[in-house]
Amino acid sequence: MLTAGSGIFPAPTPAHAAVADLVVGGWVKVVVTTNFDPLTEQAVEKAGGAITVLSTEDQVAGALPLVHSGPILLKVHGDYRDSRIRNTESELQAYTPAIEKLLDRIFDEYGLIVCGWSAENDAGLRAAIDRCPSRRFGTYWGARGGRLSDAASQLLDRRQGEVIVIDDADGFLGRLADGVKALRATHAAPMNTSMEIASIKRELRGDGVAITTHDHLLHAFGEITEMVASIPADASGSEHRSTLDAMTGQLEHVAALVSTVSYWGSAATDRWWTEEISRTSRWRHLGGTTSMLDLAKVPGLVTLWSAGVAATATGRSDLLTRLMRLPTVRDPYKGAPANPLDLLSVGVVGVGHPVKWLYHRLRPAFVENLGMTRGSFADAFERWQLCLEVWSGLAGAVRGEALLRIEADTEQLPPAYHWLLGSLRELGEESPLVLATRSPANYVEQAAKDAIARLHETYNSMDWGQLPQGGGILPSGTHFPGSFTDDADVYFAYPG
C-alpha cells in the first residue's frame, strides 16, 4: 500500500486507523509512505499491532528479508526525527541503492493500492514503480473524483491498473478495511450484506448524517416492495410457501439493516424505516387468497420485530416507546383506523408457528452481524415478545402468540418477566411500557402478570400434550413449552 499526505498531524486520522486495521488484520504486509510523521505506526500500535519502520539506508540494509519479516512501513522520504529527510526536487530524483533495491522487490512481489499520492513530485518513486517488469498483481489507484494527474495517469496506464473514484482517504480506506473484515467474518450472511453492515456501523459512529445508510435502507425496501408487487393478483394459496421462500433473502437483508440501524442509531435515523412499518401494514393487494394477501405485510412485520428486538437488546427505551405509539393507519380491508401493531400480527406469515419462523429470519442479523451471543439474542427476542403481549393486553386485544421459556413451577415467572418487572421498579412512570401505553406502572405490571397467566395455560397444555399414551416425564426447571430444553437454537431448530 502506498500512502501520502502533507505535514505532521497532531493525531492519527481515520485513514491511519483504517490502514492500521488492514495491517493488524494481516491484509497489508508493506506500507510505503512519503510522510515523515509517526502517525501510521502510532495507529498500528493503538490497534494492538506492531510494524517495523524503515527510513534510512542502514535500517533497510539490516532488515530481515520481506518473506521473513512482519509488517513493514517504508518511509522513502525519511523520518522527521532524522536530519537526512528528503524534501527538495533534487533529493527526490532517486533513492539510495538499498532503498531502490527494496522498492524493486516490493513493487514486483506485491499488489499495489495507491491513496493520496499525486505522483508529480517524486521522480524516484515514479521510476521505481515504472521499472517493475511484472504485472502479476493488480494496481488500484484511489483518486478524489476519479481525477488523476498526468504523471499518475500515465503511470497507471503502464501498470495496467484501475482508478477508484473516492471522496477522500478516510472514506476510501475505511470502506476497504470494513470490506475485508466483513469478508473474513461472513459465513451464513450474504457477502454484500456483511460489507453493508460494516460500512453502516462505521458511518453511524461519525458525527455527520449517515447518508449512505439512508440509501441502503431505501434500496432494500424498494427491492422488497417490487417483489411483493409482483405477486400475481390471482395467486392461489398453494403458491404461498414458494413465494415466501423466494422473499427470504431480501427479508433477512432488511432484518440485518434495520436491526443495525436500530441498535446503533438514534431518533434521527429511526424515521428512515418506521414509516415502512406503517406503509406495509396498510398495503392492499388487489386479489388472491388471504394467505397470499397477507404476504404483503411480512416485510413490515420483519422490520417491526428487527427494531423491537434491537430496542430491548440495547436498552433503547425511546425506540420501544416509538414502536408502540406508531400513528394509526387505515385498515385496508375494514376501512377503519387501526394500529400497525394490530395489523402486523405474526399470523400474517402463514406458516406453522410464525414465531419460530421469525427467530430464523432475525438470528443472523443479531448474532452474525451485530456480534451478539446467541443467548443474549434469545433474551432480547423473548423480551420483545412479552412487550407485545403486555401492549396488546392493555389495548384490549389478547395475542397469546409468544413462545417464552418458563419454569415447571407455574408460580415462578419467566426470565423476560423479571426483566420487565425490574424496569418497572427502577424507572416507574418513566419505564418504556408505561410511556408507550400511557398506563400507570401498576397497570402495566398487572397486564404482564395476566399475560403470563394466559401463556402458562397454553404452555402447560403443550407440556402435557407431548407425553406419549401411558404417561411419561414432564419437563422440569426452565424450558420452552412442549420441550425439555431451554436452548432457543435447539427449540427453534435453527440449522446454523
| Interval 13-19 mean pLDDT | 92
Whether residue 480 is contained in a domain is answered as: yes
Residue 194 has pLDDT above 80, yes or no: no
Q: What one-letter code names the amino acid at 40?
A: T
pLDDT more than 90, % of the chain: 27
- Give 80-85's long-range contacts (Cβ < 8 A, gap of 24+): 80/8, 80/36, 80/37, 80/38, 82/55, 82/56, 84/56, 85/36
pLDDT confidence of residue 209 = 67
67/44 Cα distance (integer angstroms): 20
Q: What φ, ψ does residue 335 adopt, rounded to 5°?
A: 75, 5
One domain, residues 126 and 269: no
Taking only the tens place, the pLDDT of each residue in 124-153 is: 898 998 888 777 788 899 999 889 999 999
Last residue of a domain, one of 119, 149, 174: 174
One domain, residues 28 and 148: yes
Of the pLDDT bands very low, low, confident and very high (cuts 50, 70, 90), residue 28 is very high
Whether residue 74 is contained in a domain is answered as: yes
Taking only the tens place, the pLDDT of each residue in 254-290 is: 999 999 999 999 998 998 999 889 888 886 655 567 7
pLDDT confidence of residue 287 = 59
Q: Are 166 and 158 in contact (CB under 8 A)?
A: no
What is the CATH number for 34?
Answer: 3.40.50
290/237 Cα distance (integer angstroms): 8
pLDDT confidence of residue 403 = 87
One domain, residues 428 and 376: yes
Name the most confidently modeled range: 149-158, 200-209, 410-419, 465-474: 149-158
Cα end-to-end distance, the chain, whole Å:
37
Last residue of a domain, one of 149, 174, 199: 174
pLDDT confidence of residue 255 = 95
Q: Which residues on adjacent β-strands are paired with residue 406?
A: 479
pLDDT confidence of residue 189 = 45
Residue bearing the bigger pLDDT, 170 or 459: 170
One domain, residues 333 and 427: yes
One domain, residues 292 and 420: yes
One domain, residues 103 and 240: no
Residue bearing the bigger pLDDT, 179 or 112: 112
Last residue of a domain, one of 152, 174, 196: 174
Whether residue 200 is contained in a domain is answered as: no
The pTM is what?
Answer: 0.62
Taking only the tens place, the pLDDT of each residue in 400-423 is: 788 888 776 655 568 888 888 888
User: Which residue range(s) make up the domain with 447?
Assistant: 210-491
Residue 190 has pLDDT above 50, yes or no: no
Q: Strands 30-33 and 2-3, how do they pair?
A: parallel
Residue 41 has pLDDT above 70, yes or no: yes
Residue bearing the bigger pLDDT, 432 or 429: 429
Whether residue 201 is contained in a domain is answered as: no
Of the pLDDT bands very low, low, confident and very high (cuts 50, 70, 90), residue 44 is very high
Residue 56 has pLDDT above 70, yes or no: yes
| DSSP result, 208-273 | S--HHHHHHHHHHHHHHHHHHHTS-TT--GGGHHHHHHHHHHHHHHHHHHHHHHHHH--HHHHHHH
| Interval 349-374 mean pLDDT | 91
One domain, residues 296 and 422: yes
Of the pLDDT bands very low, low, confident and very high (cuts 50, 70, 90), residue 305 is very high
One domain, residues 146 and 14: yes
pLDDT more than 70, % of the chain: 87
Whether residue 417 is contained in a domain is answered as: yes
Residue bearing the bigger pLDDT, 368 or 85: 368
Residue 188 has pLDDT above 60, yes or no: no
pLDDT confidence of residue 372 = 92
* Lowest pLDDT segment from 25-29, 32-36, 91-95, 361-365: 91-95
Whether residue 463 is contained in a domain is answered as: yes
Whether residue 180 is contained in a domain is answered as: no
One domain, residues 152 and 217: no
Residue bearing the bigger pLDDT, 349 or 398: 349
One domain, residues 156 and 264: no
User: What value does the mean pLDDT of the chain take?
Assistant: 83
Of the pLDDT bands very low, low, confident and very high (cuts 50, 70, 90), residue 53 is very high
Residue 191 has pLDDT above 70, yes or no: no
* Lowest pLDDT segment from 101-115, 154-168, 279-293: 279-293
Whether residue 192 is contained in a domain is answered as: no
pLDDT confidence of residue 475 = 65
Residue 306 has pLDDT above 90, yes or no: yes
| Interval 60-89 mean pLDDT | 81
Total domains in the chain come to: 2
One domain, residues 353 and 458: yes
One domain, residues 134 and 255: no
Q: Which of 283, 291, 287 shows the shortest CA–CA distance to 240?
A: 291
Residue 36 has pLDDT above 80, yes or no: yes
